[in-house]
Amino acid sequence: MAMVIAGRAYVDGAVRHTRIAIRDGRIAAIGGNLSGDPLLDVGDDLIFPAAIDCHVHFREPGMTHKEDFFTGTRAAALGGVTAVLDMPNTRPPAMTPEALQEKLHRVQSKACVDFGLYGGIGPDSDVEAMAPHCAAFKIYLSGDNDMYVPPESLPGVLARVRHTGKVLALHAELRDCIDRSPSTSLAEYQSRRPGGCEVEAVKTVLQANATVKSPVHFCHVSSAAALRLLPQPGATSGVTPHHLFLSAQHSFDLPAMGKVNPPLRDEPERRALLALVAAGRATLLESDHAPHTREEKQEFAGAPSGLPGVDALLPLTLSAVNRGEMPLSLVHRLLCAAPARRFGLNKGHIEVGRDADLVVLDMKEKPVVSHSKCGWTPYEGMTGVYPRQVFMRGQKIVDEGCFVGAPGQGERVA
């Protein structure tokens, strides 16, 4: 007999009392009169699809003092995220079939949630050989790493990726318009990486892709002007919670805790971005979880860029629902339906045949806390809606704020 969860569920775009039968990890039936063993009645709590985070940096291999695949996926689970896509800028970077296979071998026994791996590429990478081993590809239009692709190489890279059928994710800031002089404050840092660098990068990619028509995804769009250029046919956008809910004027315990690329924007720009997201302009939300230790964030000029957030992605967005900043239907699209569709995951909806990835919510606010190995959160002092229970393929992995799953329970799904 199937397991059944009963309660108020978000089904077909509305909340209604129903029962959800789960068999072999998938939703087998939905209806008011289903019986099951066991039968879990969650009362007036909300049953909602679990979130998908298509942009995390879990730092394995090479930087596991910051995070590792076990601690990162456990943090994801505690925040109601049951599938993640992990970025390739590790040490060594995941830029060859062999590196991707080695990374998979290393992390699959540690994964607490389902996952996929990005493959990093440069101007001359063999994307055809890498494609079977990765969920999507990633390049940078700025920086000094091996995944930097100059504008003149974009058409060739886009064409090769198109033949694989994979999505190409981009860090969209043009290198040539960034002032890379050392900064000593958030205000100075963002002034040296202005939103115009992002706008020009988006325009450059869209122009290069006009005839190629490769599927592209613009990561962590931080400026309203750049988001207004999207979406375009085949081109999607992601926005992070730190760009939605934090600004360069935010007071951090250590100023470098807010140092991130693209940088936090001024408060009026943050509000403009939030308004566009609330109006449905963004394709999806993603955490860009990129932890560093507190020690590494002590001195601003030398501190690495990036901040943690996979465990706060869903809680902070649900808190925006409580404040009336966006409807629950938009949260479903941004964190569940759209990432599942974009990256080909059988998740994101309470529908028959989908993976039974569910969260149980009481919609009550709790202080944001860190579940990351790095031990801190940029959202200290804020509140979020944390799931009471989390199910991944029908298995309970979080119960009343405690992780009850196991490493190795997550599977490669992309």
Q: Which residues pair with 403 in a beta bridge?
A: 398
Q: Residue 280 phi/psi, 5° resolution?
A: 95, 15
Query: Which residue in 45, 68, 114, 288 is the catalytic one?
Result: 288
Distance CA 234, CA 209 (A): 9
Give me the half-sphere count of Cα atoms (radius 13 Å) on the Cβ side of residue 337: 17
- Which one, of 299, 414, 319, lies nearest residue 363 by Cα? 319
Helix (H) or strand (E) holding 255: none
Q: Which of 96, 102, 67, 106 is nearest to 296 (CA)?
A: 67
Spatial separation of the C-alpha atoms in residues 235 and 312, rounded to whole Å: 26
Q: Is 288 a catalytic residue?
A: yes
- Rg (C-alpha) for the chain, rounded Å, is 20
Selection from 78, 20, 37, 75 nearest residue 355 by Cα: 20
DSSP strands (E only) in 32-160: 39-49, 51-56, 81-86, 114-120, 136-140
CA nearest neighbour of 186 among 263, 83, 72, 123: 263
Asked whether 352 and 27 are in contact (CB, 8 A), the reply is yes
CA angle in degrees (0–180, nearest 5) for 200-206-207? 90
Catalytic annotation, residues:
288
